[in-house]
Amino acid sequence: METAMSAEAQTRPAFIPALAYKDPRAALDWLERAFGFEVSGVFTDSKGAIVHAEMVHGDGVVMIGGEWEGWAMSPASTDGVNTQRVHVRIAQDIDGHCGRARAVGATIVMGPGDAFYGDRSYVALDLEGHRWTFSQAIKDVTVEEMEKASGFKFSKAAS
Amino acid sequence: MSLVAALIYKDNRAALEWLERVFGFERRMVLVDSDDAIVHAEMSHGDSFFMVGMEWTSWTKSPAALGGVNTQFMHARLQSDIDGHCARARAAGAQIIEEPSDQFYGDRRYRALDLDGHVWTFAQTVREVSTEDMEKASGLTLKTLPK
């Protein structure tokens, strides 16, 4: 693991969400148990406090940190308000994933349920109120079918 | 891609325009309703994308509605010319809150606020640094948590 951060440098995704927690150490443990994320690297200071940490899920990476600046605050400090969210795609067994999260203490606020765009998904609150969406593609849906089912129109260049 | 972030904006149409013009992201997908309101939008950069969302419930707010607070923020990796990216963003109106500088872990990075106050960290790997050198330079310890 000692080389994880430098070895990953070349293959890391172009976008990596960074999440603020009041207690990043508790978050690492909880996110592993409840959602199945794996710790890929942790920087600690001389007192053992976590300065920076990263977790992986499939080919996705998240950064886990504390409330290290006045503008970086956990939802636990904002009455549950989220300014950004994370959607995670699960390859299989979304209902099992949800069951595991619930058993560990996640609050399931929606689902699991099927959506018109072919996903089955659920939404869960983590230990500090970040809202996560987990979804699994369960059937292929064409753009025409999605437009018909939703009444929406897909385009690439709305302006 | 197994993980996608969704950022909350007061005006998703204005956000798409701004993020395209200032940061150089591309529209990947836009979903509009019968009134031509954008109900879902995605922007891409490199092999990755993110969602541009709205304040559609009481618990989703733009940083503009939260005194500039971010509960999550975005780390965007560039392949080349990070200084040029910063200069273009500044010229197009982005507020640069941290100038480009080299980091002990081998990245060069800068930080900017977007139109709604989301904090964006742009980073480019400029050199390979061993774990030992990172620890020596920072005084920190790098490892996984003990199981």
Annotate B2-67 with three-state secondary structure: CEEEEEEECCHHHHHHHHHHHHCCEEEEEEECCCCCEEEEEEEECCEEEEEEECCCCCECCHHHCC
| pLDDT at residue A67, as a whole number | 94
User: Can you tell me the distance from the alpha carbon of B29 to that of A143, in angstroms, rounded to the nearest whole number?
Assistant: 11
Mean pLDDT of A82-105: 96
ipTM: 0.91
Q: Among residues of chain B, what percentage have pLDDT more than 70?
A: 97
pLDDT of B80 > 90? The answer is yes
Mean pLDDT of A44-58: 91
User: Can you tell me the distance from the alpha carbon of B31 to that of B44, in angstroms, rounded to the nearest whole number?
Assistant: 15
Q: Among residues of chain B, what percentage have pLDDT more than 90?
A: 77
- Closest-CA distance, A53 to chain B, in angstroms, reads 9
User: Can you tell me the distance from the alpha carbon of A63 to that of A61, in angstroms, rounded to the nearest whole number?
Assistant: 7
| pLDDT at residue A6, as a whole number | 43
Least confident of A69-73, A145-149, B1-5: A145-149
State pTM to two decimals. 0.90
| pLDDT at residue A157, as a whole number | 54
- Buried b / exposed e along B31-66 (16+ C-beta atoms within 10 A): bbeeeeebbbbbbbbeebbbbbbbbeeebbbbbbbb
pLDDT of B33 > 60? The answer is yes
User: Using the beta-carbon criterion (under 8 Å), do A84 and B7 form an inter-chain contact?
Assistant: yes
For residue B138, list chain A residues with Cβ-Cβ distance below 8 A. Answer: 43
Which tokens in the block code for residue B134? 């990172």
pLDDT of B144 > 70? The answer is no
Looking at this protein, which amino acid is placed at residue B108?
Answer: R
Q: Among residues of chain A, what percentage have pLDDT more than 70?
A: 91
Name the more confident of A108 and A2: A108
Mean pLDDT of A82-97: 96
Confidence tier at A34 by pLDDT (50, 70, 90): very high
| pLDDT at residue A9, as a whole number | 46
Nearest CA in chain B to A143: B31
pLDDT of A5 > 70? The answer is no
Least confident of A13-22, A33-42, B37-46, B135-144: B135-144
pLDDT per residue over B48-64, tens digit each? 999 999 998 889 999 99
User: Can you tell me the distance from the alpha carbon of B114 to that of B64, in angstroms, rounded to the nearest whole number?
Assistant: 10
A68 touches chain B (CB under 8 A): no
B31 touches chain A (CB under 8 A): yes
* A129: enclosing H helix or E strand: none
Q: Give me the residue label for tokens 């092999």.
A: B47
Q: Is A65 helix (H, G, I), strand (E, B) or coil?
A: strand
Query: Is residue A25 exposed (0-12), middle (13-18) or buried (19+ Cβ within 10 Å)?
Result: middle
User: Can you tell me the distance from the alpha carbon of B139 to that of A33, in angstroms, rounded to the nearest whole number?
Assistant: 30
User: Can you tell me the distance from the alpha carbon of B140 to that of A47, in angstroms, rounded to the nearest whole number?
Assistant: 10
